């Protein structure tokens, strides 16, 4: 069986839990709903002066039941309310009346912690249109929830006790399980019902119109379930609606005709229209207990328990599936505290557990303790007092003890441990009251000898006895205590211990704010094994302990002097070894306080002690302890804020000894050596004075007077208090003192000597000084000590293997530094703690030093993300993984810090200053990513060789985490693009034929090429000098040369023009943009003959070369020819062409019209159709030859790629129109040249 922790929400609102971060704000039902109806003013104010609202308004037959003739708490009531709006004590009806003077009830602020809690998952929508839906299993955060007409059943049964809904649309009945519901907009349709299967609180932000039935049926019958409806705006029960519950509105409640509220209403104003009814129905808000169970079946104690051993060596632990408090050995004392706080007022606490006592000689027993949580639980005296009471004046009782229940085998819990002692009673139970130190712990009640006895007399456990303690403080100012025992037949009150009010007992201290619950176990001259099991702790209210001080640690010199306060360093420790200090401000009650002939005071230059209470910031502080008597003082802490961890001891350091509890006792003498070495930097020296002094006079008037003069030989010993392993040796007045040495110290007439302390390393050192002299008058021995800090002079950071990189600007210097690392990649950041001579300080260690980073270059850019933010140093050095996700050059340094705050007594405390590193960098991108790549053929599916076409892509310079390196721009962006080409991946790189390719312009780490329409024609694949066959599948790709030694490469390359077939892995060096068909093309100007009496159309053919032949390129629908701009020239000088009129002058005043196009007469220009453009000549009516030439350079787009380099005199571009001298054959419809 496994133990479990049960966290249960209090039903409805009678008492809202504040345990474990309570679900909603507390609502005191008795204050907020004292009567059936009342007004409020939104807070604690109840006086009506100056209030301007509608108050209570009643019309027609509106009625309130349950007023019992009492005056109502509203500021105003409307004129002429109905004469039967309220009821009297006899069952009759009367006019509602207000108190005189008018007052309201207490309201609730809806600000701060009481403000509306919003949903955080508005996109988590739920809709039911059919079937059944049950929401549970931890779901509690929704956007819109809609229950529509086709939905059969819809329930919300939350595992979490708070449910957040943005919009709830109730168009079909819905069932809500117990909990708090935070709903911004609630829409309840007419005739639909919200049913409850537990006690519910509903908080609605916007105005809420109740059109159906809320926790009620259609007849207005009250439900047995409890409801609190809390409206942050108006609440309006509309006609024929019904609600059972308490209604609170921060605004108005408006009850319309024939609507019923069974419950109570508190609102800023209340308007009741005709036939509106409110019936006083008291809601039964039954609280539920929160319970913790532990069956101790695990291997180790749960973290809710903390244990302590105050005598002997045994520590409470799990044995044989039970929690053993003591072994069957003499003189043991242990304790066990439950780490939760129980509010002492208005609470109900029950504690149940099994108990077994066996195996020994029958003593002593255990105690169950409730103690004041402001005082750190510490067990009381062992033996008969069972760890609760005291023993005489030497062994104090349980610290903060308020109630102790002793389950006693030997019988002495009744006879000793406090006042009002009774005769010893074996095998009995007794209860003692509150006490402190060695006073109090009064015997209150007890049983006679019990049967069956507590001690079973056997060497093994038998049937355990079960106990139940109940502490009930819910009624007025009472704290009722009862104890029951179950020996097999069920619980029964322990004879002699009836239920009693602990507060009224003589000598009982006031009830504290919170209780701790503890168990103690004890043996003395006799013994037993004492086990508990199956612990069940329940309470209405139980709170987490929150932040706690683990323990306090005091440091002192080890020897005080009566004429001078002793400086004591106090640390508030956050963990067991005090390697972590409390970051919160801590206040602590110092002990002893008050001190006869002495006391606590603030540390030098501080104001941190007031009436024995010290304030500790940043985890450590210094105080002064005065003692004018030559005796010893044992120092400690009795309580603190934040609270001290239960059962914790104050630990102390005496010089270099400790920390341990025994070093908390500090002896004071009347003579001593006194010196205070200042904090200094390693490699330098600290100069201070030393005084040999003794006390003069007596009491508080004691003063210190000189004791030594002249040159004296003192013995000095050094101890490294805080230091890594180091061979460094401290020097005093140029004499090594490791571990000790004799040092000559000159003292002046005032008894003051001078010390010069040197140390090349860093750390905290303790110097102990001793002077001893014997003569006829006796032996004089003086001792003194001081603990001081030696700081590193600086922390030097550098990038491991960093090449030299310096300069004042991006372009000339840092942008041309050698490549150090890649963006986002790890590099090693080295740290060295140095002394003032530049030597390493191996004794220095520190954790969580703050690293500052600064971007040196580029001057304008982004800082990016750089790590680490913290680093630790050990033995003076550190190597830490670092990374920067950007491009450029950095510098780094450790933020100035105080390395030993608990040991540096100067004000302000000396810091290790910030020292910037040499430049770290240059950082370059991790890779380039190409995206958005494309190739667009110049003409649909093909491009002529040497014809420009469009290519485009985006190249992003990235870090290892695939983010953009925005600083890759300007002088830091060196990457250039290179285009590659290969036909059918044949392994023949044709890159050199690409004579036009895109160039890169970097901006914020991105080079974008041709990404917006219309696309530029930015790429050209040149043709060879001689015609060649088509490249049917010519692939184009992009390589990027980083111009930085190939440190940055393309991500996911998939092409290598020089590799046949598909490249693999590292053999790839480019990213393919696309593939297209490339043709070696030409334009063939036509020659045609025709009759003079008919027009003539001469084809201009776009051809491509393949297989030794020129073939018509029927795919060409793109080439354009134009008569303008002398794109066509006429070779016969007597023939002139006017481009404006498209007329060709043949001479002698004869002109003909020319045109281009699919049909005559054509136009100024035309596009190819299936590879042809017809050149139209009108009939000349004379015989004439018209030779012409196509000038490609002057045609649109200058399609010089259609020339034929191999032709003689560009003959392919020359043609002729030939018109004959005869009329010709009229029966010939069309003639053309046939190519063979």
Rounded-to-integer distance, Cα 39 and Cα 271, Å: 11
The tokens for 783 are: 């001792």
Residue 1042, H or E segment = none
H helices, E strands: number in the chain: 1, 98
Rounded-to-integer distance, Cα 326 and Cα 496, Å:
27
Q: In angstroms, rounded to a whole number, what is the distance separating the alpha carbons of residues 783 and 594? A: 28
Supply 18's token pair: 């504040």
pLDDT at residue number 812: 55
Domain 672-789, CATH number (from 2.30.130.40, 2.60.40.10, 3.30.1330.90, 3.30.300.210): 2.60.40.10
Q: What confidence score (pLDDT) does residue 355 get?
A: 96
Q: What is d(CA 570, CA 902) in angstroms, rounded to the nearest whole number?
A: 8
Euclidean distance between CA atoms 473 and 135, whole angstroms: 38
794-924: which CATH number, 3.30.420.40, 3.40.50.300, 1.10.3720.10, 2.60.40.10? Answer: 2.60.40.10
For 1039-1060, what is each residue's pLDDT tens digit?
A: 999 999 999 999 999 999 999 9
Q: Tokens 């919009």, residue?
A: 167
The neighbouring-strand residues paired with 944 are: 1079
φ, ψ for residue 992 (rounded to 5)?
A: -70, -15
Pairing relation of β-strands 598-602 and 543-544? Answer: unpaired
Q: Are 26 and 48 in contact (CB under 8 A)?
A: no
Helices (H), 358-444: none
Same topology between domain 305-544 and domain 927-1079: no
Of 1233, 1217, 1234, 1220, the C-alpha closest to 1178 is: 1217
Q: Count other Cβ atoms within 10 Å, centred on residue 314.
A: 17
Q: Kindly give the parts of the chain with pLDDT less than 50.
A: 1-24, 1222-1227, 1230, 1233-1236
pLDDT at 134: 86
**Three-state SS sequence of 492-538:** EECCCCCCEEHHHCCCCCCCCCEEEEEEEEECCCCCCEEEEEEEEEE
> Given this model, what pLDDT does residue 288 score?
67
CA distances from 882 to 815, 823, 828, 924, 960 (A): 21, 11, 6, 15, 13
Show contacts of 984-987: CB within 8 Å, 24+ apart: 984/1031, 984/1032, 984/1033, 984/1034, 984/1035, 985/1035, 985/1055, 985/1059, 985/1060, 985/1061, 985/1062, 986/1060, 987/1058, 987/1059, 987/1060, 987/1061
- Any idea which architecture 551-669 has in CATH? Sandwich (2.60)
Domain map of the chain by residue range? 305-544, 551-669, 672-789, 794-924, 927-1079, 1082-1219
For residue 141, give both structure tokens: 């955060």
pLDDT 10s digits, 542-585: 999 889 999 999 999 888 989 889 999 999 999 999 989 999 99
Residues 6+ apart with CB under 8 A from 675: 688, 689, 690, 691, 755, 767, 769, 784, 786
Q: Looking at the domain that runs over 305-544, which CATH code has it been given?
A: 2.60.120.200
- Judged on CB neighbours under 10 Å (0-12, 13-18, 19+), 46 is middle
Q: CA–CA separation, 701 vs 70, rounded Å?
A: 72
CB neighbours of residue 839 within 10 Å: 16
- As a whole number of angstroms, the distance between CA 1231 and CA 1233 comes to 7
CA distance 450 to 493: 12
Q: What is the largest CA-CA distance in the chain?
A: 164
Dist. CA 324–CA 339, nearest whole Å? 18
- Please tell me the class of the 927-1079 domain: mainly beta
Looking at residue 656, its pLDDT comes to 66
Cβ–Cβ < 8 Å for 178, 199: yes
What does the pLDDT read at residue 602? 95
| Collapsed DSSP state (helix, strand, coil) of residue 1192 | helix
């Amino acid at each position: 069986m496994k133990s479990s922790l049960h966290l249960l929400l209090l039903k409805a609102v009678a008492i809202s839990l504040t345990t474990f971060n309570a679900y909603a704000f507390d609502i005191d039902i008795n204050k907020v709903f004292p009567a059936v109806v009342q007004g409020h003013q939104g807070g604690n104010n109840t006086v009506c002066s100056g209030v301007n609202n509608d108050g209570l308004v009643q019309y027609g037959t509106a009625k309130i039941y349950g007023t019992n003739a009492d005056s109502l708490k509203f500021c105003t009531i409307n004129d002429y309310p109905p004469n039967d709006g309220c009821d009297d004590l006899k069952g009759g009806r009367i006019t509602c009346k207000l108190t005189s003077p008018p007052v309201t009830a207490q309201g609730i602020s809806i600000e701060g912690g009481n403000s509306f809690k919003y949903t955080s998952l508005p996109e988590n929508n739920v809709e039911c249109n059919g079937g059944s839906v049950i929401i549970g299993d931890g779901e509690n955060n929704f956007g819109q929830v809609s229950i529509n007409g086709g939905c059969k059943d819809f329930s919300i049964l939350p595992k979490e006790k708070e449910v957040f809904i943005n919009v709830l649309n109730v168009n079909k009945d819905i069932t809500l399980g117990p909990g708090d519901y935070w709903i911004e907009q609630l829409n309840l349709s007419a005739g639909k019902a919200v049913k409850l299967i537990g006690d519910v609180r509903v908080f609605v932000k916007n105005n809420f119109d109740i059109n159906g039935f809320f926790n009620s049926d259609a007849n207005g019958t009250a439900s047995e379930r409890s409801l609190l409806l809390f409206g942050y705006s108006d609440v309006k029960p509309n006609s024929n609606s019904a609600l059972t519950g308490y209604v609170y509105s921060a605004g108005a409640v408006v009850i319309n005709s024939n609507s019923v509220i069974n419950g109570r209403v508190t609102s800023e104003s209340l308007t009741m229209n005709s036939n509106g009814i409110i019936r006083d129905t008291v809601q039964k808000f039954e609280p539920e207990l929160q319970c913790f169970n532990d069956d101790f079946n695990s291997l180790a104690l749960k973290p809710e328990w903390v244990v302590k051993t105050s005598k002997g060596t045994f520590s409470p632990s799990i044995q044989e599936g039970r929690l053993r408090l003591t072994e069957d050995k003499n003189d043991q004392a242990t304790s066990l505290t439950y780490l939760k706080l129980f509010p002492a007022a208005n609470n109900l606490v029950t504690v149940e557990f099994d108990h077994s006592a066996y195996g020994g000689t029958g003593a002593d027993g255990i105690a169950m303790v409730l103690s004041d949580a402001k005082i750190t639980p510490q067990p009381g005296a062992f033996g008969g007092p069972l760890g609760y009471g005291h023993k005489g004046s030497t062994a104090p009782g349980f610290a903060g003890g308020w109630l102790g229940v002793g389950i006693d085998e030997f019988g002495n819990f009744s006879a000793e441990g406090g006042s009002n002692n009774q005769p010893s009673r074996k095998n009995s139970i007794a209860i003692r009251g509150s006490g402190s130190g060695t006073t109090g712990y009064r015997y209150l009640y007890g049983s006679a000898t019990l049967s069956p006895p507590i001690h079973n007399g056997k060497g093994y456990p038998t049937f355990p006895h079960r106990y139940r303690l109940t502490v009930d403080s819910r009624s007025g100012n009472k704290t009722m205590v009862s104890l029951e025992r179950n020996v097999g037949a069920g619980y029964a009150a322990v004879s002699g211990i009836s239920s009693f009010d602990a507060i009224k007992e003589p000598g009982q201290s006031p009830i504290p704010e919170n209780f701790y619950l503890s168990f103690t176990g004890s043996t003395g001259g006799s013994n037993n094994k004492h086990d508990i099991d199956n612990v069940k702790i329940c309470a209405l209210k139980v709170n987490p302990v929150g932040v706690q001080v683990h323990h306090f640690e005091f440091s002192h010199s080890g020897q005080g002097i009566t004429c001078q306060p002793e400086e004591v360093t106090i640390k508030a420790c956050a963990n067991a070894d005090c390697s972590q200090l409390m970051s919160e401000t801590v206040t602590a009650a110092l002990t002893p306080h008050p001190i006869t002939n002495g006391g606590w005071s603030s540390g030098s230059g501080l104001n941190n002690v007031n009436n024995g209470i010290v304030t500790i910031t940043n985890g450590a502080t210094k105080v002064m302890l005065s003692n004018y008597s030559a005796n010893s003082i044992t120092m400690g802490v009795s309580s603190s804020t934040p609270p001290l961890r239960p059962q914790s001891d104050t630990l102390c350091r005496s010089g270099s000894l400790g920390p341990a509890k025994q070093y908390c006792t500090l002896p004071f003498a009347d003579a001593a050596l006194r010196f205070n070495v200042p904090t200094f930097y390693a490699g330098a020296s600290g100069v201070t004075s030393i005084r040999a002094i003794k006390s003069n006079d007596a009491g508080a008037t004691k003063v210190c007077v000189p004791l030594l003069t002249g040159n004296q030989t003192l013995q000095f010993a050094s101890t490294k208090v805080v230091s890594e392993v180091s061979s460094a040796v401290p020097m005093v007045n140029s004499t090594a003192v490791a571990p000790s040495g004799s040092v000559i110290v000159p003292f002046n007439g005032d008894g003051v000597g001078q010390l010069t302390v040197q140390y090349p390393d860093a750390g905290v050192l303790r110097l102990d000084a001793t002077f001893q002299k014997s003569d006829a008058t006796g032996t004089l021995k003086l001792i003194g000590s001081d603990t001081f800090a030696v700081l590193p002079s600086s922390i030097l950071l550098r990038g491991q293997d960093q090449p030299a990189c310096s300069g004042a600007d991006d372009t000339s210097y840092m942008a041309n530094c050698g490549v150090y690392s890649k963006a986002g990649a790890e590099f090693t950041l080295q740290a060295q703690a140095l002394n003032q001579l530049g030597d390493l300080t191996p004794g220095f260690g520190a954790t969580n030093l703050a690293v500052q980073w600064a971007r040196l270059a580029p001057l304008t850019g982004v800082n990016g993300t750089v790590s680490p933010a913290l680093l630790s140093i050990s033995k003076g050095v550190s190597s830490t993984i670092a990374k920067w996700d950007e491009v450029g050059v950095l510098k780094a340094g450790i933020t100035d810090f105080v390395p030993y705050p608990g040991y540096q007594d100067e004000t302000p405390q000396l810091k290790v200053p910030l020292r910037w590193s040499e430049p770290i960098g240059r950082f370059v991108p991790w890779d380039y990513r190409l995206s958005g790549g494309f190739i667009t053929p110049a003409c649909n599916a093909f491009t002529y060789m040497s014809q420009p076409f469009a290519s485009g892509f985006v190249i992003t310079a990235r870090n290892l985490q695939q983010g953009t390196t925005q600083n890759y721009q300007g002088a830091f962006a060196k990457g250039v693009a290179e285009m590659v080409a290969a036909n059918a991946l044949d392994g023949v790189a044709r890159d050199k034929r690409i004579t036009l390719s895109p160039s890169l312009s970097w901006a914020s780490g991105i080079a974008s090429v041709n990404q917006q329409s219309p696309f530029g024609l930015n790429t050209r694949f040149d043709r060879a000098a001689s015609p060649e066959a088509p490249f049917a599948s010519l692939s184009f790709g992009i390589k990027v040369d980083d111009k930085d030694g190939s440190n940055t490469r393309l991500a996911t390359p998939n092409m290598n023009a020089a590799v046949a077939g598909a490249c693999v892995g590292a053999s790839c060096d480019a990213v393919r943009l696309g593939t297209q068909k490339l043709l070696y093309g030409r334009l063939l100007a036509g020659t045609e003959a025709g009759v003079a009496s008919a027009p003539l159309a001469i084809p201009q053919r776009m051809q491509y070369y393949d297989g030794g032949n020129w073939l018509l390129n029927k795919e060409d629908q793109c080439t354009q020819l134009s008569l303008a701009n002398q794109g066509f020239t006429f070779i016969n000088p007597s023939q002139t062409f006017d481009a404006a009129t498209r007329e060709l002058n043949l001479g002698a005043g004869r002109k003909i019209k020319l045109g281009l196009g699919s049909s005559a007469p054509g136009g100024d220009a035309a596009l190819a159709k299936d590879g042809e453009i017809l050149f139209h000549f009108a009939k000349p009516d004379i015989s004439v030859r018209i030779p012409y030439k196509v000038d490609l350079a002057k045609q649109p787009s200058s399609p010089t790629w259609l020339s034929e380099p191999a032709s003689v005199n560009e003959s392919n571009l020359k043609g002729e129109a030939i018109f004959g001298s005869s009329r010709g054959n009229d029966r010939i419809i069309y003639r053309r040249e046939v190519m063979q």
